[in-house]
Structure 1
Amino acid sequence: MKNLSFLNIIFFLLAGIAHAEALPNEPHIVVSGTHEISAVPDILRMSLDINEVGRDVAEARASVEERSELLLQALKSLGVKKKDITSARLQITPHYNWSNKAQIYTGTEVSRVIEVILRDLAQYDEMVRAIIDARVARINNTSLESTENKELRALALQGAVADAREKAVLLVKNFPEQVGGVYSISASPSPGGFRPARYQVAEFAKRESFEPGVIQISETVQVVFYLMK
């Protein structure tokens, strides 16, 4: 019994965080398991911002509309499907400066966000040229993903569960108790793909040639096991 009390203290410390659910009154162990899978990405998501600032709202709007259409036509010529292009409504935002407690109108910003999914990464360079030609102001974010993300996450989850079980068995190895059934289990998925990144297009155009590399898909679980004599 003395060993069991000491063992429970260790397990609570190893848990690192308080478990969200009520823990059982019976002897138990709280462990976390993690598993990571590397995958070659095959799709690219981009969020593009086309904008214009000026005192003449009609001119600013016409510029954004023209550049948006230029980009959309270029994407379609690359074979990007309509379902993989999302063009948001125009946003019109007046800008003011304060001077001597008075608002002074400085111009109006007209902008549109266009989101694109590129499913043929071999066309990356051509898409970048289309972005530059359309004078896209900013690339809000990019992310590389795998079309097999669902299957890969399932494998990562299975690996995380196995890792949690292995840790539990290892921790009780030198004690008389054995790992029993599961009281509760919860998963905390980690985002896959590259972290979102923002770029000014001029900066983006100077980047070295595109190499998709690999992405990491990981899953983490927290499990409460019963302890058995």
Structure 2
Amino acid sequence: MDTGVSVVGSGQVGAAPDVLRMRLSVEHDAADVSAAVAKVAERTDAAIAALRGQGVEASAIETSAVNVFRDYTEPGAPIRYRASHALTVTTKDLSGFGRLLTAAVGAAGNSLGLDNLQFDIEDKSELLTRARELAFQQARTKAAELAALAGYSLGSVSSISETYGAVPIRAFEASAKRTPGMAINISPGEHTVEVSLEVHFSWA
């Protein structure tokens, strides 16, 4: 068994986000399943056209879910069917959220819902490099302290394993159907990348 000490170091680096992602959904229920599907398709196309009209590229609008199901009703009530189409819209215009939401609501009406809103950083490579450096420095400091307490000298690194997570400080959930025509003020805040390293040092 290799002798030495294993420690975990962590490093966090924050930066302003440069990407905004919002998840919009279009829903409709009807007595006939084909009618529900047709109406959702019509209003989804209208919402996409409105977003494209606001300068959103076609490649930045992605279907994230499509559902068609029999809606729950009380026993004896007429059968209803619900269809939905969820879109993930990505933009680098962080101040354009209100304009995009207004355009989508205007096109899809009360069928539109805002399910999620999240800020992100498109390229995290530099942040990850800096976080790794901080994590390793912390791990080495811990290991040196433990080695001194045990009466050993710290040797070379024999293994390293890494985990990391990207944590947006601000994420939102809302519903455009509950706030028709209402301006929603949002703040990007800061996006944090965290790296944890488990490092094993041998004794000198």
Is the counterpart of residue 68 in structure 1 residue 41 in structure 2? no
Would you identify which runs of 4 or more consecutive aligned residues in structure 1 move more than 6 Å? none
Q: Which moved more, 1:29-38 or 1:103-112?
A: 103-112
- TM value normalised by structure 2: 0.85
Structure 1: where are the runs of 5+ without partners?
1-24
Give the counterpart letter for 2:5 in structure 1.
I
The answer as to whether partners of 1:96 and 1:104 remain within 8 angstroms in 2 is no
- TM value normalised by structure 1: 0.77
> Partner of 2:185 in structure 1?
209
Q: 1: distance between equivalents of 2:170 and 2:96?
A: 21
Q: 2: distance between equivalents of 1:59 and 1:37?
A: 50
Is the counterpart of residue 142 in structure 1 residue 121 in structure 2? no
Q: Aligned pair count? A: 201
Q: 2: distance between equivalents of 1:185 and 1:88?
A: 36
Is the counterpart of residue 151 in structure 1 residue 126 in structure 2? yes
> Partner of 2:195 in structure 1?
219
Residue 87 of structure 2 aligns to a residue whose secondary structure is strand
| Distance change >3 Å, CA 186–CA 88, structure 1 → 2 | closer
Structure 2: where are the runs of 5+ without partners?
none
Q: 2: distance between equivalents of 1:172 and 1:104?
A: 73
Residue 209 of structure 1 aligns to a residue whose secondary structure is coil
The answer as to whether partners of 2:73 and 2:80 remain within 8 angstroms in 1 is no
- 1:1-229 to 2 correspondence within 5 Å? 25-87=1-63, 90-97=66-73, 99=75, 106-133=79-106, 134-135=108-109, 136-194=111-169, 197-202=172-177, 208-228=184-204
Q: Which structure has the larger Rg?
A: 1
Residue 189 of structure 2 aligns to a residue whose secondary structure is coil
Q: Which moved more, 1:37-46 or 1:195-204?
A: 195-204
Q: 2: distance between equivalents of 1:158 and 1:95?
A: 53
